[in-house]
Structure 1
Amino acid sequence: MAEPLTLPTLRVAVLTDGALDGDSRAMRVAAAARSAGYQVTLIGAPPARAAQPGAEIRHVAVGTALGGYRERRPRPGLRWPLAYRSAESYERRTALVAAHRSLLATRAAELDVVHRALPLQAFARTGHAMSAVRLGLRAGWTGLRAAQHRAAVHRRGTPDARLDDLVAGLARLLLGRRAWRRLDPGLLDQEIAYGPVLDSVRPHLIHALGHRALALAIRAALRAEGAGHRIEVVWDAPPGIPAPTRRAAVTDEALLRSYAREADGVVTVGDRLAGELRARHGLSALPAVVRNTPPLTSAPASRDAGVRARCRLGPDVPLLVHAGPVTPDRGPVTVIEALPKLYDLHAAFVVPDPDHPHLAELLDRAAQLGVHARLHVLPYVPVPEVPAFLSSADIGVLPVHQLPHHQTVLATRYYEYAHARLPVVVSDVRAMAAATLEVGNGEVFRARDTADFVRAVGAVLTNPRRYRKAYDRVDVLRQWSWQTESAPLLDLYGRLLGPRR
């Protein structure tokens, strides 16, 4: 009797061009693929403290040889004619001034402590004074050129002038789909870094998170097919965020025109977004909808643990939590401005980067208002631990502004607050407001309206049990669970790869 044929395990690569730390989507996709029996490799940029049981993690450091050239070699032009022509010249000249200033200070101290005859002392001090004058002139000239250099570098880093817009428009007209190569050479730096890693992994399927990762995946699939190895590519398309400049918008458009229709399958996070993607890119099929929800688990942790314990607060101290980045469009300033009117309430910001400049501005504002003692800043925790970590708070807040990319889908943080069984206070962004009013798990306030935010928080604190009871409905959290949402994703994998290929 012939022995049964044993087929090799299929390999899935989960690819992101961002950092793996805090990327809940990447971690949940990897976990779903691993549970379905695939061999999983996570590929992303450092820092990389994240871990995924049973999955290999590849860290990719992207250089700046091409993408950073604009900042290292700015073109001063008529606006900054004195700017240094290179970062090397800028660093060398400013370092020389600093070194000479230190030597001059040392010489001044030496003249004070070393005894010399009066004529020699006078001669030495005259020479020191002349050196100080020369240093002052050199420092002034260097400071002027350095200031112009920094201004030129800033302009090159944020190309939003009319001339930059004109160059972007001409590139779009003349180069078409290839405009991204000219407008954002940093994408070529990514190809240099990620390409060899993808080629060495040789996956059977690449799950690409975002359009930049999609471009990397499609090119890797073409190289593999040329070598006789078939790779399926799944594009995971997030909600579109408006580009900061015309140059960035043209780059993204060219990249999507080049690669969006080449994906073998597409998933996204909302029904409306799926329809928009199909219409915009002429996709052959409607993308599968896979919301980024946490897995359904048992009851949350103790009220004395998690975020409350990290803030060193007792169980009776009211605490709200704001999880996620603190960019201005997410409305963190509304929370800060409300604290003086909410008396004993403490606020915890759980952020990916505690050293972010926007966070420093918030801390300064809290100090001005006299509420800095009630503001706590905490780093991210591992993705699987997020709901349990947040559950000891009293309220989860999402005070985001009414921007287009916030209107159509529920934020990942909303689902995490729900699985932590937290009452929520959310701004009147369409998707979140509708879900909150339907489920009854929180209050809605007018975006950017601090007084209305205070009203909503006060209503929740007055009767928190009323809002927590909304989660007692079994279907709510089960519907918003990764066990439910990952099913269409694994079905897509099955259709592309088959049970065993």
Structure 2
Amino acid sequence: MAASLRGPARVAILTCGGLDGDSRALRVATAARAAGYEVTVIGRPPATLAVPDVEVRPVTVRHILGTHRVRRPHPALRWPLAYRSTESYEHRTTLIAARRSLLRTRGAELVLVHRALPLLALARLGYGIAWLRYGLRSAWTGVRAAQYRTAVRHRGHPASRLDDLAAEAARLLLGRRAWRRLDPGLLDEEVAYGPVLDDVRPHLIHAIGHRALGLAIRAALRSEGSGHRIEVVWDAPPRIPAATRRATVAGDAHERSFAKEADGVVTVGDRLARELRARHQLAATPTVVRNAPPLIEVGEHPDGVRRRCHLAGDVPLLVHTGPLNPDRGADTVIDALPKLYDLHAAFVVPDPAHPDVAALRERAEQLGVHARLHVLPYVPVPDIPAFLSSADIGVLPVHKVAHHQSVLATRYYEFAHARLPVVVSDVRAMANATLELGNGEVFRARDTADFVRAVGAVLTNPKRYRKAYDRVDVLRQWSWQTESAPLIDLYARLLGPRP
């Protein structure tokens, strides 16, 4: 404990994601600054957190080690003709394209430029031979390029049985150090973030997420070696299932390497706190700090979601926020629109140009409901409740996967502070909260017909569901003012009380 600190303690809030739209980083920074700490927020650009008196350090990660296996796929026996590197592939394919352009130019020249008949015949013979050589080279390059692209796709998503066996072998042979072999992208982040953390020299690092944990612990070890003590608080979110066995093993190894080294652990739900303590045999149950918005008077937003969609006040509108990952259930909403007639659906997403958004638009086009689909970009975190408040329903149609079952999503709290009735799938945490509070309807996950029923029930009597927020002091309980108090208490225990 740094109880003998003179002057304000320095707190670094570390996240490996982009800072724009990171509500957790913003709220932690606000609470720490209000408690009297000097705060630096470190993360990837874009980084425009608007918190008074808080320094922002954007970090750009050069993906050198993490993409090496894709840029140089070493195809070996499976794709023996593939190019061995991105540079070779790009060089050969570009050269073939250039030769084709030159040959077409030469063909035009033979038509336009006058030559004597013998010279023209000789030129056309050479031209034909050049096209033959080009055809052979192009075919050979095409075969090698196709094998290279196949090898790159495989290396970028290593999901074959042989890849799974290699991941298990690394887990057995290397143990907790397996992450260095299986996810070298973590070392890219170490190269980028490490010098920044060493320069800031905070007294406490609040590491948000699993990848940030290792960065914080290693920075603390380096700092302590030079005589400067750093406390580390790990902010552990639910683990999202990895796409491949390789990524799963790497993530587990990385987390097990550093979880017990943290001086304090916080998370977003009671069930998850118990799971973390059991998984890592922690000395104490992690502190629960839910990612709820601050309790403020929500007025009408000058450019709210309804106005962005150019809809009149009597047009029914539901809203969905967040990325459109496959397990978020956005397809359930689109499939229901043909049966809900006048209802419009707004999706507030981090990147409107993302391929998942394009797939959603295509599905809406097929069903003939594209005119009732609206895709909007994120708004600043403090504006979210007011921005959403002009909608009629907030929907969370998530699928039944582990990381949705144990905690209430941040979006659920944002809908509550916008005083929106909710329609949620029957995942454990959200269904229990909704049935207990009476602020919405629950439907069976992936069941479009039941989703239509739930939406219809809310639209029939929306005032009944909105009144649920007035009957109890739930919004105060679900507010950042309430939730951040245990976090600041944890800081005080680690750093000593602040003046």
Q: TM-score range by the shorter chain?
A: over 0.9
Say whether the 8 Å CA contact 1:209–1:237 is kept in structure 2. yes
Alignment of 1:59-458 (within 5 A): 59-114=58-113, 123-301=122-300, 305-458=303-456
User: Which whole-Å CA distance do the structure 1 matches of 2:5 and 2:196 have between them?
Assistant: 27
Flag the 1:37–1:87 CA change in 2: closer, same or farther, 3 A.
same
| Aligned counterpart, 2:480 | 482
Q: Secondary structure at the match of 2:467?
A: helix
TM-score normalised to structure 2 length: 0.95
Look up the equivalent residue of 1:352 and give its one-letter code.
Answer: P
Deviation at 1:129, TM superposition (A): 4.2
1:300/1:387 contact within 8 Å kept = no
> How far did 1:450 drift?
1.0
| Cα pair 1:305 1:392 within 8 Å, conserved | no
Q: Would the alpha carbon gap of residues 299 and 45 (structure 1) be closer, same or farther in structure 2, given more than 3 Å must change?
A: closer
The residue type equivalent to 1:43 in the other structure is I
Query: Structure 1 residues 482 and 83, CA, compared in 2 at 3 Å: closer, same or farther?
Result: same
Alignment correspondent of 2:42: 43
SS at the partner of 1:426?
strand
Shift of 1:191: 0.9
Sequence identity, in percent? 75
- 1:161-192 CA deviation, whole Å, 9 max, x = no partner? 22222222222222122111111111111111
Runs of 4+ with deviation above 6 angstroms: none
Q: Give, in angstroms, the shift of residue 52 of structure 1.
A: 2.7
In structure 2, what is the Cα distance between the partners aligned to 1:115 and 1:461? 79
The answer to whether the 8 A contact 1:322-1:396 is kept is: yes
Q: Is the CA contact 1:401–1:427 (under 8 Å) kept in the aligned structure 2?
A: yes
Does the 8 Å CA contact 2:36/2:498 hold for their aligned counterparts?
no
Q: Which has the higher contact order (CA 8 A, sep 6+)?
A: 2
Measured after TM superposition, the shift of residue 124 of structure 1 is 4.5
| Runs of at least 5 residues in structure 2 that lack an aligned partner in the other structure | none
SS of equivalent residue, structure 1 residue 466: helix
Tell me the CA shift for residue 137 of structure 1.
3.0
Number of residue pairs aligned between Structure 1 and Structure 2: 496
Q: 1:228, CA displacement in angstroms?
A: 1.1
Quote how far apart the aligned CAs of 1:118 are: 5.7
User: Which amino acid letter does the alignment assign opposite residue 88 of structure 2?
Assistant: S
Partner Cα distance (1:385, 1:114) in 2 = 68
Amino acid at match of 1:473: R
Structure 1 unaligned blocks of 5 or more: none
- In structure 2, relative to structure 1, the CA distance for the partners of 1:377 and 1:117 (3 Å cut) is farther
Deviations 1:398-449 (A, max 9, x none): 1100001110110011111111111111111111111111111111111111
2:461 to 460, 463, 486: 463
Residues in 1 aligned to 2:8 and 2:215: alpha-carbon distance in whole angstroms: 24
* 1:359 alignment partner AA: V
Q: Deviations over 1:195-250 (max 9, x none)?
A: 10000001010000112111110111111111111111000011122222221122
Q: Which amino acid aligns with 1:363?
A: R
Q: Do the aligned residues in 1 keep the contact of 2:298 with 2:385 (CA within 8 Å)?
A: no
- Give a deviation string over 1:434-478, Cα, whole Å, max 9, x none: 111111111111111111111111111222111111122350111
What is the rounded CA distance, in whole Å, between the counterparts of 1:141 and 1:163 in structure 2? Answer: 29
Shift of 1:143: 2.0
Worse overlay, 67-76 or 248-257: 248-257
Structure 2 SS opposite 1:397 = strand
For the 8 Å contact 1:198–1:220, the answer to whether it is kept is yes
* SS of the residue 1:355 aligns to: coil
Q: Is 1:440–1:467's contact at 8 Å kept on the other side of the alignment?
A: yes
Measured in 2, the distance between the counterparts of 1:406 and 1:100 equals: 54
Q: 1:86 Cα shift? A: 0.5
Superposition RMSD in Å: 1.9
| TM-score, with length taken from structure 1 | 0.95
The letter for the 2-side match of 1:400 is: V
Q: Which amino acid aligns with 1:468?
A: R
Q: 1:493 aligns with which of 491, 494, 498?
A: 491
Structure 1 Cα separation of the partners of residues 491 and 19 of structure 2: 22
Q: CA deviation at 1:497?
A: 0.6
Post-superposition shift, 1:133?
A: 3.6
